[in-house]
Structure formats: structure tokens, C-alpha cells
Amino acid sequence: MTNLCDANEVCELGLAPTARGEAPPFGAAPALFALSVGGLALGTGEFASMGLVPNVAADLGVTIPQSGHTISAYALGVVVGAPLLAVLFARAPKRELLIGLMIFFAIGNIASATAPGYLSLNIGRFLAGLPHGAYFGVAALVAAALAPPNKRAQAVGLVMLGLSVANVVGVPFATWLGQTFGWRYAFFAVAAIGAVDAALVFLFAPRIRVEAGASARRELAAFASLQVWLTLGVAAIGFGGMFAVYSYVAPTLTEVTGLQASTVPAMLAVIGLGMIAGNTVGGWLADQALKPALIGFLLWNVTALALFTVTSSNVWLATINLFAIGCGIAIGPAVQTRLMDVAADSQTLAAALNHSAFNLANALGAWLGGLAIAAGYGWTSLGWVGVALALGGLVILLVSFAVEKRASALSTA
């Protein structure tokens, strides 16, 4: 996607209009803030349900692993919705598309909040997840278009910063709201944030004209790229480890660490602080040296998840370890930037598929973690599940680099 900033001029983020569209009406900062609030809404909606797993289970009369299926339902909605909506709306103006996606997200959360039973709740979570990946993908492309080429990952990181802030502010608040007044109120709150973001995008996001030649066929070309598939595999497998732990962090903290349920929101905020640190540093490192950064982030995840198995029994060590696990989200902007590099003209679909991959990781991590718990291996076994997934992602990444190096050598020869 061509940058709004001209390569031959010195410009701040988003201040230079080009043939691709207008500059943001009030400058770059409000535009990026509006995109980031979307991340706050989506992150709160996705992660708050993890902290409310015991509450949903008790209210609907199902087991905790069954309640965890609502997490997987949302994630599968992302997996389905991201490529479908990216292709269907390939020629849609990006600003208007972002507004429509956020309105649909709000409606899906209202459906979740009013669901009368277990099946209808899963349907509501699936519907709420449908616009998630497409919103993040399109928002990341808009943010990258506002940035100079050497700051793309940092711009993408600013969009995903909303996802991290959600875990400091949105998720603890929604978890407290759900524990105090009932889990349904948490989803009503998420719907309200989504509605606010739709208004902010309308006011502050730039108008970007549809790119010449944009079409569903051109977007679908992403599926023919081996590098796109390998990069998506890094996200889908490598990031599943964090979700194996996060999906069941609430019962782990109460059953193993010995904390009261009322302190769980504070511990979720610790993970969120780690995510903010990871997003901020991760975007900068990815702009400096993308490939080494990707390897380093996965190795960080392996280490942090392994330590989860021995730190969970002590509240102070668990707190430090959860912060470290949160830092692992640094891989997000790096993977998104890698996809921009390998996707050629299929930018929208590739960017959206990145979030399909992350939410496939969500579903995979929650499912495998649930299997380990149901098999009687204990809550701390989630750390080993996470280690296996992170190592799997590292293997896929190294294969991707090897294939790319071989193709480059053959092309030179």
C-alpha cells in the first residue's frame, strides 16, 4: 500500500495528502487515536470473556472448559470473517468500511449480552468476532499509509496499542463489571465502546480513495503465496502459547496462586501493561531489524511460558511472569509488517488474515489448554502447552526464511 507521505519529502505522520486520498482532517494523532480506540473495543471484547469464564460457566450451568468454547467461537468468527469481508469489500473505501465493521461488532456484542443460553451465546460471540480481523487489517494498512516507510511497524504498533491498553483498562473494567453486576453487562459495555469508536473514525480518520485495480481477484492472489502462508503459520501456531495460558488465567490464579476472584482484574492489568511495553518496544525493534526481532520475540515467549509452570504458585513471581508473557505480544506488529513485505498487491486480505491467524492461535491455545486441564495435568501444564506452540512457530519462521533465501539465490543465479 502506497504511503500518503511522499518518499522525497520530510513529513510527519499523515500530514501529506496525495492521489491516494486526503490527509487526516485534524492531523495524524487524532486519526491514529481513533484507530487505536477500535483496538481497545476489539481487545476488550475478546479478552474480557477470558476473565469471565468462571462466571459464564456458573450462570449457564456448564463446565469451565465448555465455557471456554465461547472464546473459541469468537476466535473462529475472526478466522472466517477476516478473509471473507476483506474479499467482499475489496473496493470499499477504507474509512467507511472501518465504520461499518465497528457497528457490526457492537451489534454482535449486544447479541452476546442478550443471549438466553449456551448455544445462543456462542452464536453471539461468533458474530461479534466476524469484523475483528478485517477491522485490524484495514486499520493497520491505513496507519502504515500515514507513516514513512521506515516507521511502518511503529504505526501498526500504535493501532495494536489499543489492544494492549484494553488489557490494562478495558478488560479489568469489563471483568469487574461482569463479576459485580453479571457477565452480560460486560458485553453491553464493549458494545458501547464500539459505537464510540465508529463515531471517532467518522470524525478523524482520513478518506483514502480506492486503489486502482483493486478487486476480489487481486486480493485472492494472497492465497497463492507460500510466504504469506508461512508467515500466517508463525502467528497461528507461535502465538497460540500465550492464549493457552491467558484463556485460563483466572482459574489458575484462584486455584494455584491462591488469589481471591476480586484480585483477578488487577492481574489481568499486569498482563496488559506487559502488552503495552511489548507493543511499544516491539514495533521499534521490528523497524530496526525485522527478521532478528521475529526470532527474538518467539524465543522470549518460549522462556516466559516455560517459567509459568514454576512461578504460578507464588503471587510475586506470578505477577512478574504474567508481565513477561504480556510482553510477548511484541510479535504482532512484526508479523503484520512481514506480511506487508510478502503480500505484494494483496495487502488488504493479507493484513486481515494476520488477525485470522492470531485468533486461530486463540482458538487453538484455548482448545489445547482445555484438553490438558480435562486430562488432569493441572493448571500449570498450560505453560508446557504454550512452549510447544511457541517452538512450533519458531520452526515455521526459520523455514520461511530458508525458503526466501533459497528463492533469492535462485533468482540471482
CA-to-CA distance for 329 and 85, rounded, in angstroms? 25
> pLDDT: is 149 or 402 the higher one?
402
> pLDDT: is 68 or 113 the higher one?
113
Report, as an integer, the average pLDDT of 33-61.
86
**Bridge partners, residue 208, by sequence:** 21
Which band of pLDDT confidence, cut at 50, 70 and 90, is reported for residue 343? confident
Percent of the chain predicted with pLDDT > 70: 92
CA-to-CA distance for 345 and 192, rounded, in angstroms? 35
Domain 28-412: which CATH number of 2.40.50.140, 1.20.1250.20, 1.10.3720.10, 2.40.30.10: 1.20.1250.20
Domain layout of the chain by residue ranges: 28-412
Which band of pLDDT confidence, cut at 50, 70 and 90, is reported for residue 191? very high
Residue 26: exposure state from Cβ atoms within 10 A (0-12, 13-18, ≥19)? middle
Report, as an integer, the average pLDDT of 174-200.
91
Q: How do residues 206-228 score in pLDDT, each as one tens digit?
A: 877 666 555 677 777 777 788 88
**CA 110, 115, 119, 121 torsion: positive or negative?**
positive
- Give the per-residue pLDDT at 301: 93
- Give the per-residue pLDDT at 5: 46
Residue by residue, DSSP assigns 44-68 as HHHHHHHHTHHHHHHHHT--HHHHT
CA-to-CA distance for 360 and 133, rounded, in angstroms? 11
Question: CB under 8 Å, gap of 24 or more: what pairs does 110-114 form?
Answer: 110/187, 110/188, 110/191, 112/187, 113/184, 113/185, 113/186, 113/187, 113/188, 113/191, 114/184
Is pLDDT at 252 greater than 80 in this prediction?
yes
CA-to-CA distance for 269 and 169, rounded, in angstroms? 7
- Give the per-residue pLDDT at 15: 35
- Give the per-residue pLDDT at 298: 93
Residue 316: exposure state from Cβ atoms within 10 A (0-12, 13-18, ≥19)? exposed
CB 157 within 8 A of CB 282: yes
Report, as an integer, the average pLDDT of 25-49.
84
When the pLDDT of each residue in the chain is averaged and rounded to a whole number, the result is 83
Q: How do residues 357-381 score in pLDDT, each as one tens digit?
A: 887 887 788 889 889 988 888 898 9
> pLDDT: is 218 or 192 the higher one?
192
